[in-house]
Structures are given as C-alpha cells and as structure tokens.
Amino acid sequence: MKPEDQPSGEAARQQGAIVLVVEDEWIVRMAVAHHLCGCGYRVLEAANADEAIAALNANDEIAVLFTDIQMPGSMDGFELARWVRRERPEVKIILASGAVSPIEAAHDLCEDGAFLGKPYSHQELVRRIRMHLAER
C-alpha cells in the first residue's frame, strides 16, 4: 500500500466497509479487488449483474457498489444501478466505463463524482469510495 492509500481520520473508520466490485473482465476485477483489500476494505466480486444482485440480496452490509456499465448478461451497469437505487437505496454507487457518452445517465443514477472513466487509477477509486462512505 502506498503512503497516499494509508487511512487517516475518517478513512480509518471506513476500513472494513464492504465494496462490491462488478466487472466482467476478470483481470480488471482481480486488480481492483486486490488494491481495495490492501486499502482495508472487504471486497466481494461479481462478474455480472445477476451475481451482483445475488450478493446484494445475501449481504445487507454492502456499502458501495462499484460497477462497470458495459457487461454481458441480463442487465448492464445502468440497469443494475437502477435496481440498487430501488431495492438498496443506502448503497452508494460508482459507475465506470470506457465510453464517454454514459456520463449524463450515470449522474442521474448516483451521487456527484460517481462516474469514473476508464482507464482510472486505483487511487482515484479509493478516493471516491472514501468520499461516499463519509456521506453515509
């Protein structure tokens, strides 16, 4: 873990929060999960929206959903975010995409600063998670 990733103050209290990472590219999902674990978060992983919904239904302690927008399966990241807004409104949402056009739709589904364009840095993702958890 780099010094800028070390928790202090509010961030230290957030350690142990559960982040659900939804990404169909396993190498990206693994890298993000590994980094977040190193920053003190508990991480659940899902390859698609169906796996994510199963995890959300099984664990009411999930604090943050970090999901790709474009993924195969029964729904994309936008539809998953809509489901979370309806069924689990306390969960903070961060959307990621390599496409620029989803920014406006992402803003409607989640809080300010909740869209990350790809490629994104792991440090920026951690900063956004900390910001959203501080709001809880």
Helix residue spans in 39-94 (DSSP H): 49-58, 77-87
CB 98 within 8 A of CB 116: no
Res 107 pLDDT > 80: no
pLDDT(85) > 60: yes
Q: What's the pLDDT score for residue 94?
A: 93
Q: Do 29 and 51 contact (CB within 8 A), yes or no?
A: no
Answer whether the bond into residue 119 is a cis peptide, omega within 30°: yes
pTM recorded for the entire structure: 0.76
Radius of gyration for the chain, computed over Cα atoms and rounded to the nearest angstrom: 14
Q: pLDDT by residue (tens digit) across 52-75? A: 999 999 999 999 999 999 999 999
CATH number attached to the domain at 16-135: 3.40.50.2300
Angle at 34 between CA 25 and CA 18, to 5 degrees: 95
Beta-strand ranges (E) seen in 1-136 are 18-22, 42-46, 62-68, 92-97, 115-117
Lowest mean pLDDT among 57-66, 74-83, 124-133: 124-133
